[in-house]
Each structure stands twice: as C-alpha cells, then as structure tokens.
Amino acid sequence: MITKKNPPDGRVGIALVTGGSRGLGKNMSITLAKKGNDVILTYNRNLKAANEVVSEIQSLGQKAAAFQLDTSKVKSFDNFIGEMTEYLQQQTGSPNFDFLINNAGIGLYAPFEDVTEEQWDEIVNIHYKGVFFLTQKALPYINESGAIVNISSGLTRIIYPGSSVYGSVKGAVEILTRYLAKELGARKIRANVVAPGAIETDFGGGRTRDNKEINAHIASLTALGRVGLPDDIGGVVAFLCAQESYWINGQRIEVSGGQAL
C-alpha cells in the first residue's frame, strides 16, 4: 500500500521513474526511497529485475510497484496511465503522484553517415516523442508543487563522434524542459534536466563500464579523475524532487565530475 503524502510542506511523496529496473533508473528509484519517497517504476522486458528493485525499496520501509511500459509506443500510454492511476486510487484514495522522472532509454553509437532511418526513429521515439507524450498524459495526475526531472546527457555539450542522433535528441529534451518549466509554473510544477556524463552501467552494452580503454580515456578527460558511477546520479535526481530544491527550475544540471572542461 502506497501512502499519499504532500511534498510542498517539506514531506516526501510518490515518484514515477521510467526505466527504473536497471542502471541509473534503479539507482534513482532506490535513492528516492532512501529519502522517504514511495516509488512506481517501469520496466520494458525484465520483470524479474523490476521485482528485485521493488523488493529492495520495500526493505527500506517504502512502498513500491512496477508496471510494464515501452516508452517508444505512445499508443500504449493510455493503458499504462490507466493501470497506474487505478492502482494509486486503490492504494491511496487518489490517482495522483508527485514526481515524474523520464529516464528510460537506450544508446546508439554510429557515425553520422551510417545512421539508418530505423535507428533514427527508434531513438527519437524513445528519447523525445515518448518523453513528450508520456509527460503530457501524466500531467493531469501530477500534484501541484510536484516536479519533473528529464534525464539528458553530457553529450549535448561534449561532442563525441558517433553520438549525433542521441546527443541531438537529448538536446531537444533539454529545450522541452525549459518550456515545461515556463508553461507549468502556474501549477507550481518545476521541471529540470539532469545530464549525466559517462557512467559505469550496462547502458549501450556496458561499453563505458567494460571497455578498459574507453573507461581510462574518459577518466583522463574528467577533472575528478574517474568515470561516473550510478550513485553519483541518483542523489541529484532525488534532490531535485525535494523541497530544498524548489527554487531550481528550468535548469540543466550536468553531473559529470567535470568531464571535458
């Protein structure tokens, strides 16, 4: 059972984290729970991993639930929102929640001249179209004084060959976030971007984590001398959902350890 709370009074609330079953999304979900939030997370295929995250959150004393969602399929969003809000209504007496973290995504590493239309469509559908319309459909259920955190990438600033599609689409998300901050201000809903640098996860096939040459190269370009870890990101996302960060709005916060300064 998820207990409804009202974050504007300094208390915590209910967070929806897309792609919360692995990688950065898993870390965000668990960190939000450690800060006292209840969590709804989505997964695409791996129900077992999602249930493991739910169990870990429950072991922290918070409530959690997992729902299947493919963020590239906009036509599935109505069913997802219906299932989630029905669950919340049953558990809390309200279909509403407080924080939306648009995190779900995949990588694409391909030279500009080799990118196919199918690859382009997949990345745009997941990282921009999906973010846009999921946020739109979730918006009626986000409590006043809630928060939206969109996950972007250091690759909107750091130009790395082979990331033209991914970096460009994340740039669009950053602009969208500023529009959300402006247009949702009347409801006191703030919107910000967290842009991680290179992080050791299974993202993109684990290339940053598992390729020693890539890892060492990125570490050499980073002021703090190493590649990022999931724990470097989750706390920043949780902070942007907390009352202490209420006056931060429409901002891009890069969390990269000073990569490529």
Active site amino acids: 166
Contact 101, 18 (CB under 8 A): yes
Contact 69, 44 (CB under 8 A): yes
* CA dist., res. 259 & res. 256, Å (int): 5
Q: Three-class SS of residue 97?
A: strand
Contact 182, 136 (CB under 8 A): no
* CA dist., res. 148 & res. 240, Å (int): 9
At 44, give phi and psi (nearest 5°): -95, -60
Contact 83, 16 (CB under 8 A): no
- C-alpha distance from residue 87 to each of 80, 90, 165, 236, 258 (Å): 11, 5, 36, 28, 42
Gyration radius (Cα) of the chain, Å: 18
Going by C-beta distance under 8 Å and a sequence separation of 6 or more, which residues neighbour residue 190? 147, 148, 181, 184, 246, 248, 249, 250
